[in-house]
Structure 1
Amino acid sequence: MATVKIVLREDKMNKAGEAPVYLRITKERQTTYISLELRVKPQDWDVVLCQVTGSYPNKKRVNNYLLQRKAEAMDTVLKKETKSHSSEKLKKVIKGESSESFLKYYAKHLAKLEKAAKVNTLRKARSVYNKLEAYLGKRDLLFDDLTVAFLKQYEAHLRDDLGNSINTIHSDLKIFRKLIYDAIREDLVSPERNPFLKFGLETEKTTKAHLTEEELDAIWMLPLKEGSKQWHHRNLFVFAADAGGPRISDLLQLKWGNFSGTHITFTTQKTNDIVSVKLRTRPLAILQLYRKETSKPSNFVFEFMRPGKDYSDPWVLQKGLSAANAHINKNLKIIAERAGISKHISFHSSRHTFATRALTKGMDMESVSKLLGHNSIKTTQIYAKIVNGKLDQAMDVFD
């Protein structure tokens, strides 16, 4: 248990014979001092009562001040008393100082992500850090500086100067909020200093681009040169839209060992969940286009990843996945235009397409959620709203 006492430091006496008054904080035999900005001659100091006495000017008011400062310090110590708090940390808390720079704390967070090889999370977090660092210039940012006023100013900078969308700003500041709550759990910041108690994060609804049954068929029937990149990328998109909407990262890593003849079973990279999908006619036919007599269980089904690379290295894997995804999305734009589809689609649209088609065909929400690998069924319910909206429009024909 830490102790707080008011003491007269006679070892620091000035030429006028006056010694400074301090709050002394002691914990586990470690002692630190906080100056109370007061000097007293030893003859005017009561060592037992720890207060001024004799003929000291404004004696009553000064003693009340000393008692108040000690009470405030004791209250802070009681609230913050943990084994992790040294006397030096308690001193900083009592003085209202942040125990650590938010910017340095953020940098430590990046180092942890890098050590854990969380490639995608690190890429996003590093991008957000770089934006913040550029905004600050050579300035540091303490936890105490991270106020509602600062967040409003920084939000305006992201919106007006950088042209970031509401959802991008939300995504950036979510990382700030996470780090604040981490620091609170580590007892580096008091809960009362959390600016997100008064600063809300805003989002705006976005349209999830998906294809109708007719549009998907138009892409499937589009005459493309067999073996061309567009032909392969079209096949991959249609396969995903028919086979449970797997993410591009999972599909590009799918191996023949994941295919039983009727099902594909794999562990999702994003959520680490095991997903098993029964394949119907079209996706089975697509797989036959890629199966060779020499295909081994360890071979990729869709050979878009460069051979000879060490994909056991998460950094090499992510670089390969990102490059392939960019190439596929570029070709999907061209394919959609050639099929007469004006919607802006990407490979991720295949997930939205599967979800809306599955719900329209009567598949229950829980099954769709499991096939998509959603952590929460609330995410899947977004697609139900799209389907319900279409059903509402369909009923308008009765007017």
Structure 2
Amino acid sequence: MKTDSAISRNAVNAFTFSIELNHKPKANGDYGLFLRITENRKVKRIYTGFDVPKKDWNPKKKEVRRTYPLYSQINKRIEELKAQAITVKAEVKGATTNVVVSHLKGQNTSLFFPYADIQVGKRTYNTARNLKSEIKKFRDWIGNEQLTFADITTPILYDYHDWLIRSHGNNLNSANTSLTKIRTVISKATEEGLIKWQDNPFLGFKMTEARPQRVRLTEEELQAFSTVDLPEGTLIWHTRNYWLFAFYTAGVRFSDVACLKWSNINGGRLSYVMRKTQHVIQQSHTIPLPKQAEAILDHYRSPESKPEDYLFPILSTQREYNTEDDLLKEISRKNALINKYLKLICQKAEIAKDVSFHSARHTFADLGRRKIKDVYAISKLLRHSKINITEKYIKDFDTEVTDQALNTLFG
């Protein structure tokens, strides 16, 4: 039986085709897979669109080992790419390596879904979960696992966006989010040279901007939420404490509240690194603890409290989280549970709003907008990296201001 390389030589004379790993790893430690085309010692390389760990690459067989989850899809793509190169050389008269490379890059025949699945695997837990969900939705709608990047046109994007709203029941925000996730994958493929910049279908796709739905409590609702009778020591009682603590500490996110420890409390101040940005900027955020937040902590503080103990009984100190993903999964599970109990609290308090834990952040931002009247101070308290983020964040709460102005004028 002839080897693959021998077949390639016979088919294309002086040409040889093989797959190889890039000599340098990427930032995440994976290595890019390239099609190597050699003609009379002149070498050209084409990126396949896939990256794999070095341990999952078989250099002798020139294929991805079965230890890698997507080995089958990638190996299939490798064979397709090599076959395309051989076909171009055989059918194009006088084809050189440059001609072969040009033809291959112009075809955009890379499969979208295997590439998208690999991108999911490179994300952290929460980002990966959201991206995977949106890719599945798109996959189900397309109904063709062999979809190539070239098949994804601007009209198809508009059709999908329209289907999400008219048939799938998504609102404009949700539909926009779905298309944004697909755009992320295609942008990454463009960045890596898998498709040409001018072939990006999103260049001609314009999404109608929708106003974000930022649910927050009014002062009257906040009072009802804070005083509704709840049995002390129960999960619903703890849930209210967590939410109010987040509100009083300038909208701390649930992932941060869950991970706070007594070591984060010192001298009447709360100091911590936001989980959302800790992989980018290792900068501690510190604020004074309002008396209301201190009163909540008094329910949990005891003489036995140790610096390494969690502030709140959300995560167990007895459980070890072996990876960051394990921790994020547990936080996500707890967040979903807490959000369910928040809805029960609102029912008891007769608050007809879809309140989530993140609503504590929105409530603080809205209250700050009306009482502090200092966008810079609000921005710092919300831990926004840029002040224009805060301006965009709070402008969605301006309906009350315009309503009052109109009532003053014509009331």
Shift of residue 182 of structure 1? 2.1
Which AA in structure 1 matches 2:348? Answer: R
SS of the residue 1:265 aligns to: strand
The answer to whether the Cα contact below 8 Å between 1:209 and 1:343 also exists between their aligned partners in 2 is: yes
Partner of 1:215: 221
What is the deviation of 1:212? 1.8
**Residue 104 (structure 2) pairs with residue 92 (structure 1):** yes
Alignment of 1:1-399 (within 5 A): 29=42, 33-34=88-89, 88-93=100-105, 96-98=106-108, 100-113=110-123, 118-272=124-278, 273-386=283-396, 388-395=398-405, 396-397=407-408, 399=410
Identity %: 31
After superposition, give the CA deviation of every residue in 1:75-108 in whole Å (9 maximum; x if it has no partner).
Answer: xx6xxxxxxxxx6433313xx3115222222122
What amino acid sits opposite 1:332 in the alignment?
A: L
3-state SS, counterpart of residue 141 of structure 2: helix
Normalising by structure 1, we get a TM-score of: 0.74
Rounded to whole Å, the distance in 1 between the matches of 2:150 and 2:328 is 37
Cα RMSD over matched residues?
A: 2.9
Specify the code of the residue in structure 1 equivalent to 2:205: F
Distance 1:163 1:389, change over 3 A: closer
- How far, CA to CA, are the matches of 1:159 and 1:386 in structure 2? 23
Cα distance 1:103–1:207, how it changes in 2: closer, same or farther (>3 A)?
A: closer
Q: 1:394 to 1:149 in 2, by over 3 A?
A: closer
| Equivalent position SS for 2:299 | helix
Alpha-carbon distance change, 232 to 282 in structure 1, aligned in 2, over 3 angstroms: same
Matched AA of 2:368? A
User: Distance between the aligned counterparts of 1:260 and 1:312, measured in 2?
Assistant: 28
- 2:170 is paired with a residue whose SS is coil
1:310–1:316 CA contact under 8 A, matched in 2: no
How many residue pairs get aligned? The number is 330
State whether residues 143 and 189 of structure 1, in contact with CA within 8 Å, keep that contact through their aligned partners in structure 2: yes
2:55 corresponds to:
none
| 1:374 CA displacement | 2.4
Q: Which runs of 5+ in 2 are unaligned?
A: 1-10, 14-36, 45-85
Aligned residue for 1:290, secondary structure, equals coil
Q: What are structure 1's unaligned runs of at least 5 residues?
A: 1-8, 12-23, 39-49, 51-69, 78-86
Residue 132 of structure 1: SS of its match in structure 2? helix
Give yes or no for contact 2:256–2:274 (8 Å, CA) kept in 1.
Answer: yes
Query: How far apart, CA to CA, are the structure 1 residues paired with 2:378 and 2:284?
Result: 14
Q: Is the 8 A contact 1:101 1:141 kept in 2?
A: yes
- Measure the CA separation in 1 of the matches of 2:40 and 2:168: 48
Which shifted more, 171-180 or 282-291?
171-180
Distance 1:140 1:300, change over 3 A: same
Q: TM-score, normalised by structure 2?
A: 0.72
When residues 257 and 128 of structure 1 are mapped into structure 2, their CA distance, relative to the original with a 3 A threshold, is same
